[in-house]
Structure 1
């Protein structure tokens, strides 16, 4: 199913059906997001993802405890 067909007639926020369907609605790169939700964020926001990965590398801090965004690069 294409994203445009998935949202036709959808009464809720499209984040719940686009990509793999988010488990929760929040900022696209929420520190509380699941791997599934981050996978959607990466797919729909590649420039923001690249910027956040660069910030991780510069700071030495990971995005989530014990999980860097760069480690999720294979999910997009």
Structure 2
């Protein structure tokens, strides 16, 4: 009986942060984007952003808003 050699899958390094910088979308006008897009999901997200967007006077960030806090 012939023995088939066993090959183990290569162990990949655990995922980590990329060294590549994220693009800066700070200058994007979400209102214009919502009005001009024909992508259904993007339009839905833009509308949700606009509905929940506080005015400049209301914009506040709290320490508790960090990613480790579960959103219900």
Global fold match (TM > 0.5): no
Greater Rg over alpha carbons, structure? 2
Larger % of helix: which? 1
**TM-score of the two chains, using structure 2 as the length reference:** 0.25
Larger RCO, structures 1/2 (Cα 8 Å, 6+ apart): 1
